[in-house]
């Protein structure tokens, strides 16, 4: 594509030759002719001078330092994401059902879909147009999958799971396994509580590798539109995650918790069950969340229960001084004893 095309398509001001052709993105340091770089994080500003990129996406304030063509925008990272998608589109579908796939009764696969070898569909599965199903994906009875969704090799969707349009589900993820529900009997044994709900996943959801989303005990576990889940996240039964919320790797959400829209939850965060987290909450990595968070804001814990970011940072500095604090207190007590 030409720089002129990219500038028009993404609403950038172009400083440079609109007919210059680019065919890939690259970091400022690794870029060669034909590639587009970007400068979103000011930390990397020093790399601008030596870049060999054909053009760089950046803010107007940094244009003066740019030795090559510049695509100016107020939001370089978002424009970079879009330009990278233009230049590196997902590989085109190869429509057709591989002969080594196994389809159940009353399962409809539109001709526009790609179904890989070893994919196994139960009965009554429904697929939208242009769905891509990787090798060995297993799809239970009655599952519904919306148009343009892609599911990578080896993912498992249990019976009754419903997935929206334009979703991406990575390998190793398991959607709709039984929630963890047991009643302890008088003799100490556990009685399994049947998990008869389902999982409802909206449009434009991405689910990383080896992430598990349990089916509801009664009623559904719900992942709303635009949610992005990283790898190895555990979502308990009957949890609800609001639209456009983003959760990083190895976080765990216990059952029956409701998380608001547009939240950002850090890696390894642990959210207890039966809580309500407001919209637009940011929770730092590793934070333990034992209670509901009714007000938007930034909360952190880094291994301890959530607090406001500011308070937690101060307390954590003091934690590093704790032995010293205890010694100083002992000295004060000794002094007072001598005085009395």
Strand order in the sheet with 35-38: 13-15, 69-72, 55-58, 35-38, 24-25
Least CB distance to a second copy at residue 283 (A): 13
| Residue of 8, 49, 78, 106 that binds a second copy (CB under 8 A) | 78
Select from 82, 124, 282, 296 the one that contacts a second copy (CB under 8 A).
Answer: 82
237 is catalytic: yes
185 forms part of the interface with a second copy (CB under 8 A): yes
What six digits make up the tokens of 211? 């992430």
317-325 long-range CB contacts below 8 Å, 24 or more apart? none
In the shown chain, the binding pattern of residues 153 to 172 toward a second copy, with x for contact by CB under 8 A and - for none, equals xx-x-x---------x-xxx
Counting contacts by CB under 8 A, is residue 124 touching a second copy? no
Question: Would you count residue 320 as binding a second copy (CB under 8 A)?
Answer: yes
The residue among 51 and 232 lying less far from a second copy, judged by its C-beta, is 232
Q: Closest separation between CB of residue 141 and a second copy, Å?
A: 8
Region 276-295 residues binding a second copy, contact defined as CB under 8 A: 285-286, 288, 290
What is the C-alpha to C-alpha distance for residues 295 and 113, in angstroms, rounded to an integer? 44
- The residue to which tokens 């599952």 are assigned: 143
Q: Measured from the CB atom, is 148 or 230 closer to a second copy?
A: 230
Rounded Cα–Cα distance for residues 168 and 163 (Å): 10
Q: How far from chain centre, in Å, is Cα 226? A: 9
- 236 contributes a contact to a second copy by CB under 8 A: yes
Cβ–Cβ contacts within 10 Å for residue 176, how many?
26
Residue 86 backbone zone (phi > 0: left; psi -120 to 50: alpha; other: beta) = alpha
Choose which of 177, 278, 282, 309 interacts with a second copy (CB under 8 A).
Answer: 177
Tell me which stretch binds a second copy (CB under 8 A): 13-21, 49-57, 62-70, 96-104: 96-104
Among 53, 70, 134, 198, binds a second copy (CB under 8 A): 134
Which 3 state secondary structure label does DSSP give 79? helix
25 binds a second copy (CB under 8 A): yes
Within the chain, where are the H helices? 3-10, 76-87, 309-319, 322-339
Which one, 19 or 156, has the nearer CB to a second copy? 156
143 forms part of the interface with a second copy (CB under 8 A): no
- Residue located via tokens 């389809």: 103
2 near a second copy (CB under 8 A): no
| Residue 336 C-alpha from the chain's centroid | 56
Catalytic residue among 10, 136, 237, 244: 237
Asked if 265 and 251 touch (Cβ cutoff 8 Å), the reply is yes
Q: Which CB sits closer to a second copy, 4 or 252?
A: 252
Write out the catalytic residue numbers. Answer: 237
């Amino acid at each position: 594509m030409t720089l002129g095309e990219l500038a028009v398509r993404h609403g950038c001001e172009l400083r440079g030759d609109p007919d210059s052709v680019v065919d890939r993105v690259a970091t400022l340091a690794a870029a060669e002719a034909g590639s587009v770089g970007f400068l979103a994080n000011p930390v990397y500003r020093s790399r601008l001078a030596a870049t060999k990129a054909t053009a760089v996406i950046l803010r107007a304030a940094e244009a003066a330092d740019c030795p090559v063509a510049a695509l100016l925008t107020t939001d370089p990272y978002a424009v970079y994401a879009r330009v990278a998608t233009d230049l590196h589109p997902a590989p085109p579908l190869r429509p057709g059902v591989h002969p080594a796939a196994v389809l159940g009764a009353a399962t409809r696969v539109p001709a526009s879909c790609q179904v890989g070898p070893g994919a196994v569909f139960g009965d009554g599965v429904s697929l939208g147009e242009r769905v891509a199903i990787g090798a060995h994906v297993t799809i239970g009875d009655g599952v519904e999958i919306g148009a343009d969704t892609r599911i990578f090799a080896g993912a498992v969707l249990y019976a009754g799971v419903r997935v929206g349009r334009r979703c991406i589900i990575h390998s190793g993820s398991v959607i709709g396994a039984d929630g963890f529900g047991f009643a302890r009997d008088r003799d100490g044994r556990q009685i399994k509580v049947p998990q008869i709900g389902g999982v409802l996943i909206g449009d434009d959801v991405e689910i990383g590798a080896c992430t598990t989303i349990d089916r509801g005990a009664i009623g559904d576990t719900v992942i709303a539109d635009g949610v992005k889940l990283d790898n190895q996240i555990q979502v308990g039964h009957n949890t609800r995650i609001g639209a456009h919320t983003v959760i990083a790797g190895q976080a765990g959400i216990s059952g029956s918790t409701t998380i608001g829209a547009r939240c950002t939850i850090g890696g390894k965060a642990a959210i207890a069950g039966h809580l309500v987290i407001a919209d637009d909450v940011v929770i730092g990595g590793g934070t333990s969340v034992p209670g509901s968070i009714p007000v938007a804001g930034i909360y952190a814990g880094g291994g301890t229960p959530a607090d406001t970011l500011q308070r937690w940072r101060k307390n954590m500095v003091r934690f590093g001084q704790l032995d010293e604090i205890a010694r100083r207190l002992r000295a004060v007590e000794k002094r007072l004893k001598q005085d009395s």
